[in-house]
Structure formats: C-alpha cells, structure tokens
Structure 1
Amino acid sequence: MFVDHSQHSKEAPRDDLSAVAALDEPTRRRLYEHVARSTGPVGRDDAAQALGLTRQTAAFHLDRLADEGLLDVVYERRSGRTGPGAGRPAKLYRRSEREVGVSVPARQYEMAGQLLAEAVEESDSTGEPVRAVLYRKAAALGERLGGEAPAGVVDMLERYGFEPRREGETVVLGNCPFHVLARKHVETVCGMNLHLLSGALATSGDTAFRAQLAPGPGRCCVVLEPASS
C-alpha cells in the first residue's frame, strides 16, 4: 500500500479553522463520518453508493477533505492481485491522524500539557525538582520556536495566539494561550510562560526586548519590556 501525504503535508492549509469549516458542509461531513467509521480505506465508488451520491460528488468532497488534512489518500489494488495485468491501484481514503481543535480566543493547552508531562517524567527519573525541569524545557521550546520565526518574536507571538500589541515601548500580550491553567496555577504556569518567551527572544535575533512578569487584568502575565530599561 502506498500512502500519499503530499496533498495535506506540503500543499494543503494547516489552519484548523479551515478544516472545521470544511466539515460544515453536510455532504462532506457525512463522507468524513463514513470514512471514519469504516474498518479499512474507502474508495470513491463505495462511498458514493453508501451515501446515495454520484461518484463525481463523492470524489470532489473526499478530495477536499484530503486537501484539509482530514483524510489520508492511499493507493492499493482491491483485487489483491499483483504484477502485470493486476490493474492500476485504486485511490482510497482513510481518516488521518491529524487532530483539529478551534478555540476563540486561541489556546495552547496541548503545548502546556506536553511540557508538564515531560517535566514530570524527567523529574521522576532524575530527582530534579519538577518546576526546575519545566522551566528549562519551556526555555528550550521557546528557543526552538524563536529560531523558527524569521520575522522575529512578535510574529511568533501572533502565530501562537498571544495577540501582541504595542503600548508605548512595551509589547503587551492581549491573550494568554494558557488562560485556564494560569488562573488555577499562577506561579507554575506564568513561570513556564516567562521562560518560554525568554527562550524565544534569545534565538529570534530580537535584542530590543526582554520578557518580564507583569500580571494585569485581561491579558497575559508576561510583557516584553525594552531591553535597555
């Protein structure tokens, strides 16, 4: 079996909102649910027959779902035969491993969960305090994200939902992507966030700012202050 990832790993948009919007169309949603419930890859003809659609309609919507990364495209011979005369492999669809979630305002609970889980596991094996491991791993992640932001740290902050805005010489973050966690576990989560953003600044090439804890109502607990202040 050959799996075609090109339609959703290189060319397709990776925006979760776009993927969710694609499922808002009733026929497309039915096709996605049909493929998801199936025990194996589904062909266009089988999907069309199962849902009472024309083959052209089924193919159009299945390909749209693949473009959004919601379905994987695979090719296999349904007859089970191989070699010359076995015919061309059929184009089939199966549910992808992509997980889609949309939150308004933006949240990054998966990122926080990953950092916290890694910190607990490493602390358990090394004896280093959990919070120390968490802050170190948050800084390392921030360094990676900052290094991958060619337009600077503000661009990274926008991509991850921090909603940066200028207030004088300070960059205030209008949204905390870890909002619910930060409200219940202020010291741990705000410290994690501080180290994350400090790490991002360290590798982004943006030396004009430094991350500072400055909690305030209706915004993130971290702000970017001028480095010279």
Structure 2
Amino acid sequence: MSDSWPRRRLLAILRGASEPLDAQELARITGQHVTTVRFHLDVLTKESLVRQFQQPPRGRGRPRIGYSAVQRSVGYQELALVLADQLGPDPRRRQEAAVAAGRTWGARLDAVDKPVEGLDAAKEVVVTLASELGFAPERDPSGDTEAQALIRLTACPLRELARTHSEVVCGVHLGQIREVLERNGAREELNVRLHPFVEPELCVVRLEMQARRDPTPVVAEANSERIVAPSGGRVPPQLRNGEANVAKQTSQQW
C-alpha cells in the first residue's frame, strides 16, 4: 500500500472522517472514477486498513457499503483532546505551546532530507512531509508566484479535533513544518503560514519569501512626526502611508 499514492490519500481521508464514507463520496472528494476508488478500497480492506459497513440506501436501491479506517492507536483522538485541554484557556498561549511542541516533534521525525535553497525546494519538502504525516497534500500552481507557494491539505488525521481546537492541532502541524524546513537549511526570509479550514475539508499551507530585514533602524515620517521603527527595522505600512486603519485579515493564519 505504501507505494500507492491514491490509496494513501483514501486512507488519510477516511482517518479524518467522522463517519463511514462510501465509494461515490470518496470519488467526489478525490476526483477519481468510482470504479478506481472501489478497486483501491478493496485492496485496503484486504490489508485490514479499512473496514466495511452497510449503510442505508439513498432512495430506492440496495444498501450502500461505507468504509472507515481501522484505528491503530486506540483512544488517540481522546488522548489528543485531553492534552489539548491541558494547555490552558488562553488561545494565544495554547497556540504558542502547540507550535513549540510541534517543533520538538519535528526535530525527532525521520523526515525528508533535502537542502532548502529556494521556494521550490521548500515546497517539495513540505509536500513530502505532509504526505508522510497523512495530510494528502496537493500542489496549487494557480496560487504560486515568484514569492509565494501554496499547498492544499486535503486530509487530516485529527480533523474533528482541529475543528474545535484548531489553535492546538494546527499549531503542532505548523511547528513540525517550520522545524523540518529549518533543519534542511531554510532561512528566516522564508515565512510559513497555515490557514485552517479555508473550505470545510481543506487547509492551506502558504510559503512566502520575504525581503531581508535591514538591521539599521528605519526613520520615517507620518503626520509630521518622526517615527523610529522597532529593532526589527520595519516601519508598519499604515505608518509609512500615513493611514490610520489596516484592513482586517479574512482568514485565520499563524
């Protein structure tokens, strides 16, 4: 099974589903022909990686066959929920703790070893890592530019927990990605963001190349007053442009 990308993706989707899915639903999600999906499901069933369930028919006809992933780690979802609840009530602190935990986890992963010397190499590393972790990643060339790359995560082993604890689950995943990228040589100019649930079953990783920071503090003028930038050397855009308001971001990002 490990050498079959379609079967790995089907298994990842079933692991993230809250209820059994039939072949037609899986064909709709993956874009594969339903006959091809049934073939892969038969293989996964024979390998005891998925289990079949009889489901009521839609209207008239024979009962449908639903498929659910066999859970190898008993109580893993419940354990993850308990651990998430132990991080305290403050969402920002929970997120920071989760990212730190993800970095620790990422440092222990026997993950891809490929020098990150540019945006394309970084994208390949993230796609490979996400595939190994069960996220069924897809490249999104339509959103790529010279300074940005997008990776679509179409599955998640902890999707249901992420719906209620996204700052924890997605924070851990973000920490893993950042740690593996840095371990492969990514520099600080590479910014990594994770946008959870841009669609009900889709998350997006955004890789951005940023200009090098000037270590010399920048002095700017706004509203006839001299403003000295913080130690990072950047003047906020709203001050450079003399604007008082900044457009609110429409999606959550870390």
Q: Greater helix share, 1 or 2?
A: 1
TM-score, length-normalised on structure 1? 0.41
Larger radius of gyration between Structure 1 and Structure 2: 1
